[in-house]
Each structure stands twice: as structure tokens, then as C-alpha cells.
Amino acid sequence: MNLTPLSIDEPLPHRKIIRSWLIPLNIRSTSHALALALFDYVLLFVLLAGVVVFQSVLAKLACALSAGFVTGRLFIIGHDACHQSLTVHRRLNKWIGRITFLPSLTPYSLWDVGHNVVHHGFTNLKGTDFVWAPLTQAEYDALPAHRRLLERLYRCGFGSGLYYLYEMWWRKMLFPNRREMPTRRRIFVLDGLLVCAYGAVWIAALVALAHTTHQSAALLVGLGFVVPFLFWCTMMGFVVYVHHTHRDVSWYTSREEWARSQPFVSTTVHLTFPYGIGSLLHHIMEHTAHHVDMSIPLYRLREAQKRLEQMLPGRIIIQRFSWRWYWDTVRHCKLYDFERRIWTDFKGRVPVERHA
């Protein structure tokens, strides 16, 4: 196999060739996967127990926020299982996916359709991929005042949790109507009922523990259920936003242009973090490799991303995370001009300065 890096002037090879570079990394370990899932589930229960056991409200809150973060870790494991990349066993992947999706109240089958089929099949193709799809100036101006306000909230830098909670989870995950999900399947309803039952048992357990320990039921439900879930929504909204919102990331309305752009390489960002934060997120930020080959397990994504960047120097968007970069992106990436293929703010202004 030829593993000589491609010059920036050479045409990008077919996706099959690029994926062939990663074949040695497409090795799945069932024991590794089960250990990851078990560790994160135990950690989640320990943190939720801390919400009940600790007397200090600050200690309870710290456990609640940490539980929200671990919910995100479990979701990432389920995300891999849903891609059939976690273990070598299809049925086991489906069960691990359903189980690890439960703390985030995510119906497995609906996520499978929305993410695997729509998002990965048509990444950044507006009209098909709906995740953080930007409006044009004309579309924004035509919105009623309340909807323009909502769009401003979503893209203000603090609105990622609200975006995920309403636009993704409420409208598309929890018993979506026919407009949001024209296809009607029995498994969609069953998975919705499963997450509702899990949530009901979770709340009932917290109420029972509050009664047993002579604590406020409202406090325990708020810190043991509401706060972790809202933290998870914020975490998820943020992660998806930074994956596909960047000055160098393009969106498309023409399927022909989109296909010519090799979207599996050009439409996502490898966001790097200091202090091993990427590892804490199960390497989901090594996102280009994931879009090139969804079958690579999360525990091999770092190596796969490194190989891609070695083979395609200058082709992959690599961004070191900083709050300066984030707020610069938030300030300037509000709307999208599809003719010029450039981001603008809500007044149609194009950013001129760039920040690392």
C-alpha cells in the first residue's frame, strides 16, 4: 500500500482509497468496548449517589454536573455502537447502544436514522442534513420576529443546550410528528417508550430516596435528573456545533457541488484540546477520521486521525480550541452565503480578521 503523503496540488483520491489507508485501524475489541461502557455506567451511578449522599448543595451540584458529562461519555459509546463500530457483534452493538443511550434519554432507532442515514449520508448538504444548518440572509430576514430571536439565541454562544434540547431532542427524537419523521416504524415508538420508562424510573428512584433520607424531593430530582440532562444537552449541542461550524467549513445546496467537494473530508473539524480533554471525550473530536470511516472504533480514532493528517497535509481543518477562537466563530458564523460559500453575521457582513 502506497502511504506517501499527497501534495496539496494533487486531486483528492476516491473515498475508498482514503479509507484503505485506515484498514489496519479498523480492529474492534469486544472486551475493550464492554469495559468502557461498564466503567462509565458505574461512574455515573457513583456520581448520582453523590447527589443523594452529600449534604452540601455545592457538592451535590458538582456531582450533578459531572454526571451530565459522564452521560455524554456514555452517549459517545452508544454512538459508536449505533455505527456498528464498537464490537464485532451486530446484536451486541444494538443492545450496548440502547443501554448507553438511556441516561441521555435518546431513542436508539430514531438516532440511527437521523445520524447514520441523514447526517453522515449528506453532511452539510442543506435541505437534507438538518444539524446546525445555517440560514441565508433572505431566509433569516423572512422569519417572524420570535423565530429570528430564537435563531439569535441558538447562535449567541450560550444557546447550544437550548438548540439541542428543542430542535434535536424534542422535535426529532421524542415521538416526532410526521413532518419531522415521515416514516413511521413500530421500533421508533418502542424506543421512545423505553427512554420514557427509564426517565420515569430514574425520577421515581430519586423521589423515593428523598423520602428515605428526609431530603427535598424537588432538590434531588432537580440535581439528580434535570441538571445532568441539561448539562448533557449543552455538551451535545456544543460538540456538534464546533464539529461543523468554522470559517473554513462549507455548506452546500447543490448535491452535485456537494459531491464534488469530497464532503467527508471538507465538512468537519478536528478540534484539538490541551490536558487530555480529547481523551476524556472518547476521542469524538478526531472527527474527520470518523466521517471518512464510521467503522473505526472510538478507541482507535486518534491513530486514524493522525494517519489522515499525515497523508493529506493541508487538506483537513485542524483547529486548536481556545475561547478566543470560539467567540470569534460565534460572532461571525451566523448565516451562510451559499453563492460565495462564506459565513456572515446576522447583518450579512463578512469577517475580515482571523484568530487562531
Better pLDDT: 235 or 268: 235
Predicted confidence band of residue 170 (pLDDT cuts 50, 70, 90)? very high
Q: Express each pLDDT in 200-242 by its tens digit.
A: 999 999 999 999 999 999 999 999 999 999 999 999 999 999 9
Which range among 143-152, 226-235, 268-277, 317-326 shows the weakest confidence by mean pLDDT? 268-277
Predicted confidence band of residue 164 (pLDDT cuts 50, 70, 90)? very high
The structure's pTM equals 0.92
| Average pLDDT rounded to a whole number, residues 150-158 | 96
Better pLDDT: 9 or 132: 132
Question: How far are the Cα atoms of 3, 95, 344 from residue 107, in angstroms, in the given order?
Answer: 41, 12, 35
Which range among 87-101, 191-205, 206-220, 273-287 shows the weakest confidence by mean pLDDT? 273-287
What pLDDT is stored for residue 114 in this prediction? Answer: 86
In Å, how far from its chain's centre is CA 123? 13
Using an 8 Å Cβ cutoff, are 234 and 71 in contact?
Answer: no
| Average pLDDT rounded to a whole number, residues 290-296 | 90
Cα separation, 130 vs 124, whole angstroms: 8
Predicted confidence band of residue 73 (pLDDT cuts 50, 70, 90)? very high
Instruction: Return all residues near 50 (Cβ < 8 A) that are at least 6 apart.
Output: 59, 60, 62, 63
Cα separation, 351 vs 328, whole angstroms: 9
